[in-house]
Amino acid sequence: PRPVRLAEYAPFSHVVETVTLAFDLHPSATRVRSRIAFRPNPDGPSGPLRLDGEKLTLISAAIDGTPVAPRVDPTGLEVDTPDAPFVWECEVEIDPSANTELDGLYISNGMFCTQCEAEGFRKITYYPDRPDVMAPFSVRVNSDLPVRLSNGNPGDSDADWAEWHDPHPKPSYLFALVAGDLVAHSDCFKTMEGRDVALNIWVRPGDEDRCGYAMDALKRSMRWDEEKYGRAYDLDVFNVVAVDDFNMGAMENKGLNIFNARYVLASPETATDGDYARIEAIIAHEYFHNWTGNRITCRDWFQLCLKEGLTVFRDQQFSGDERSHAVKRIEDVQMLRARQFREDAGPLAHPVRPESYIEINNFYTATIYEKGAEVIGMLKRLVGDESYDRALALYFDRHDGQACTIEDWLTVFEDATGRDLSQFKLWYSQAGTPRVTVDSRVADGTLTLHLRQEVPATPGQPDKAPQVIPVVVGAIARDGREVLPSTLVELTEAHQTASFDIGTDDAVASVLRGFSAPVILRHDLDNADRALLLAHDTDPFNKWEAGRALAKDALMRMITDGAAPDPAYLSGLAPVLTDDTLDHSFRAMVLGLPSDDDMAQGLADAGQVPDPAAIAAARDRMQKARAAELKDPLSDLYGGLANLSPYAPDAAQAGRRALRNTALGLLSRLDGGTLARAQFDAADNMTDSLGALLPLVQIGAADDALAAFHDRWQDDRLVLDKWFSVQVSAAPADLALDAAEALVDHPAFDWKNPNRFRAVIGALGMNHAAFHDASGRGYALVSQWLCKLDPVNPQTTARMTTLFETWRRYDADRQDMIREALERIRAVPNLSRDSTEMVERILC
């Protein structure tokens, strides 16, 4: 298929004034009648009316009441229309029960539900399915199911029908419909404008007692958006529905958010602290889209980061406010490095605003989302908090009700601040992670930094221009005092120098504080400098970063030279571990190690070929050495942090459990799992239960515990996903491969459910040593299952091909095996457009 190009954007030929839909719901033969008022668009091209439509059976069509015979093809229809306003009426039939791709109208556990972003609405009826066509919708659902929902405010209803009206003009990708046997957890919210909003979280009967946390997070999100952005909710009801079969996390349909059940349902027994935090973040994210995405949407899908980058940035701010900014920042950067830097370093690298695509669903990426959010964070840092607030107020004021572009967004900032953002705009068009190299020198009471930037070549972009990079710097004297508080350096040239009066000749620069830009920093620090920053940096991010750099350096030497674990690194940990002025979750994060994938990328960056088994072995040795070195403080911590009851999912308790479980993980390297088994048996919450199961799996001593876990949770689908996943993602390579190969034959391996599929196949891809095992078993199993899934669910298949995106890092044998695995996928008869595009880009 031909790529879609940003440069070829043209407005739609017509304006849609109103949309009225009627659904006769039937599992295999649903009828959809549409009545759409069109008028010619004075700013658009003229010609016949072209509507998108896929997998639809056209029953009838009429214009202004007169039957017409449109020219129908597999992607839509064309019809001649009057050169004046007219009403299009049409009836189609669709088969939700045959919809296994979970895009459009489908059935999950007997419940009708929809997913329309990006282009699912065209599988429901003929329509100009593009985000710049916005209209108010009225919907009638003819069905006697107990609950029938759509967007907007409820209208009349009866035993076998219900009507909904959404007054806010919206693009079709925000349409939603749900019908089924559901129960609600209900509450209410009064907006700052005095509107009473009914809140409902709809779930399967039996799940209603697991909605309390999501509801609480929703109300906190609504209040936060009022307080921080002045944005109030704009309908009388806000509905959230939990669905078992869902391709991604959740969807922000206007007034009717649809969620993967795993990001709604939580109880202390079934959800971990991490699950609670993700629920809070995703509830907030989808809610925040009501303004950044729905009221102001994207002109075309190239502008996806306009809503996603901004909304991720907003949900990160919210989680930071609700929990801890320092910890949230570290978590976000870990995620950015693990997913986005990895993407940027390989064949799938693309700009935050791509310029062409074949299948838009392949562009819901870490670059659009996470790097998109980083770009907003840099903009805020460059213009300042107060200017950011003014610019956002102007954005909402100027563009409410519109479908916008990145140019509109940047113009708002230019108008609000008077600043020229033309160089900043390169962040949207140049792919690749900039490298910033810093040489620091201290003499005559002055700190001098020489900064250099370089943006590496990426597919289709051999040469790059220097970008605007906000680099926040500080300095710590050798005696531990801060001699330079955080100061912003705007790096705009390829080479640049900055000097600071620091009044001492013995200090260490702390560069890129708060991870002020999404770049790879090379700073000429030695391990003594890093140890100083680990002990004394006032910037929590760089304090953590110094520890990580020490760990990475030590691991690197263990992998490449067979060195012993660095004694200086080991001895630097105890003071942090026992520093009661630091919060527990921060200390747990300092005890983390870079992931195996991170180490593999580090080796590749250093021009070496990573050996996955050697990386895993080094990690193992490092864990044992750290456990032996820290045995006493770890045991004290473990004992001292016990007995948190009653369980609460708040940040303070979660931090204590995180540190205690990190300690348990290390202690398990010494005692063969005795302590972990005791915690597992006694645990009354899922965080502690999984926190004990994980080290047992890691040391290969989990058989009994896994059996007990299965017996207890076999009827709980979300917990059972954890059982599938932990034994594959966390076990040593050979055990993980054995487990994965056995689990795909397990009677509960319901592979058409995306969560279950990811719990085994995705988990195997996450286990670096197992996936890249020299036998090729990992590649074979993953590719075999992707071949099987593609005809059923192309979106989930295409997304999971990214497991192979790093293949060029590895040795020739592994590259050959991966190429074969990808060729096998490419050879599937009628391979989806989604997977074809991905496999071809990865192989390129």
DSSP string, 293-358: TTTBEESSGGGHHHHHHHHHHHHHHHHHHHS-HHHHHHHHHHHIIIIIIHHHTSTT---SS-SEES
251 contact choice in ligand B3K, Zn ion, none (CB below 5 to 8 Å, kind-dependent): ligand B3K
CA separation for the pair 713, 724 (Å, rounded) = 11
Assess contact for 430 and 463: CB atoms under 8 A. no
- Name the region of 39 (left: φ>0; alpha: ψ -120 to 50; beta: rest): beta
Q: What torsion do the CA atoms of 490, 491, 496, 499 make, to the nearest 10 degrees?
A: 30
Contact 516, 561 (CB under 8 A): no
Considering only residues 14, 254, 285, 314, which one is a binding residue for ligand B3K as defined by CB under 6 A? 285
Q: What is the three-class DSSP state of 243?
A: strand
Q: Least separation, in Å, of the C-beta of 834 and ligand B3K?
A: 10
Q: Which of the listed partners (ligand B3K, Zn ion, none) does 50 bind, with a CB threshold of 5 to 8 Å by partner kind?
A: none
**What are the start-end ranges of the H helices in 420-566?**
426-429, 527-536, 540-561
Min separation Cβ 258 and ligand B3K, Å: 10
Q: Report the nearest approach of ligand B3K to the CB of residue 770 (Å).
A: 28
Provide the minimum distance between the beta carbon of 75 and ligand B3K in the complex, in angstroms, as a whole number.
Answer: 18
- Closest separation in Å from C-beta 279 to Zn ion: 15
Q: Judged by CB under 6 A, does residue 358 bind ligand B3K?
A: no
Q: 118 touches which of Zn ion, ligand B3K, none (CB within 5 to 8 A by kind)?
A: ligand B3K
Q: Name the residues annotated as catalytic.
A: 286
Other residues' Cβ atoms within 10 Å of the Cβ of residue 397: 9
Our CB check for ligand B3K shows the closer of 361 and 433 to be: 361
What SS3 class is residue 500? strand
Q: Which of 89, 286, 343, 611 binds ligand B3K (CB under 6 A)?
A: 286
Q: How far is the CB of 118 from ligand B3K (least distance, A)?
A: 5
For residue 660, state whether it binds ligand B3K (rule: CB under 6 A). Answer: no
Is residue 176 near ligand B3K by the rule CB under 6 A?
no
Q: Does the protein bind ligand B3K through residue 117 (CB under 6 A)? A: yes
Residue 252 lies near ligand B3K (rule: CB under 6 A): yes
Is residue 315 involved in binding ligand B3K (CB under 6 A)? no
Choosing from 175, 318, 341, 364, the residue that interacts with ligand B3K (CB under 6 A) is: 364
* CA atoms of 649 and 34, how far apart (whole Å): 46
Rounded CA-CA distance 187/219 in Å is 9
Only one of the segments 281-289, 373-381, 709-717, 722-730 lies at the binding site for ligand B3K (rule: CB under 6 A); that segment is 281-289
Using the minimum distance from each CB to ligand B3K, give the nearer residue, 241 or 546.
241
Nearer to ligand B3K, 285 or 371 (CB): 285
In the bound state with ligand B3K, the residue whose beta carbon lies nearer, of 406 and 489, is: 406
Applying CB under 6 A, among 16, 107, 215, 251 the residue interacting with ligand B3K is: 251
| Candidate list 183, 248, 574, 708; residue touching ligand B3K; CB under 6 A | 248
CB 288, min distance to ligand B3K, A: 9
The region of 45-53, 246-254, 343-351, 811-819 touching ligand B3K under the rule CB under 6 A is 246-254
- Residue 746 beta carbon to ligand B3K: minimum distance, rounded to whole angstroms: 29
Binds ligand B3K (CB under 6 A): choice among 308, 374, 566, 834: 308
| CA-angle at 707, arms to 706 and 712, nearest 5° | 100
Report the run of H or E that residue 5 belongs to, with start and end. strand 4-5
User: Which residues share a beta bridge with 257?
Assistant: 240
At which residue do the structure tokens 């969620």 appear?
Answer: 259
Give the footprint of Zn ion on residues 297-356 (CB under 5 A): 308, 311
- Of 13, 142, 221, 361, the residue at the interface with ligand B3K (CB under 6 A) is 361
Q: Please state the separation of Cα 215 from the chain's center in Å.
A: 21
Distance CA 313, CA 392 (A): 13
Least distance from C-beta 298 to ligand B3K, angstroms?
10
Residue closer to ligand B3K by CB (options 262, 285) is 285
Report CA-CA distances (Å) from 162 to 13, 139, 151, 586: 33, 8, 12, 51
Long-range contacts of 228-232, Cβ-Cβ distance < 8 Å, separation of 24 or more: 228/317, 228/318, 228/321, 229/291, 229/314, 229/392, 229/396, 230/393, 230/396, 231/290, 231/291, 231/396, 232/191, 232/192, 232/193, 232/195
From candidates 56, 63, 118, 798, binder to ligand B3K by CB under 6 A: 118
Which structure tokens are listed for 374? 């980083």
Q: Write the interaction track for Zn ion spanning residues 645-674; mark x where CB under 5 A is met and - where it is not.
A: ------------------------------
Task: List residues binding Zn ion (CB under 5 A).
Answer: 308, 311
Task: List residues binding ligand B3K (CB under 6 A).
Answer: 117-118, 248, 250-252, 285-286, 289, 308, 361, 364
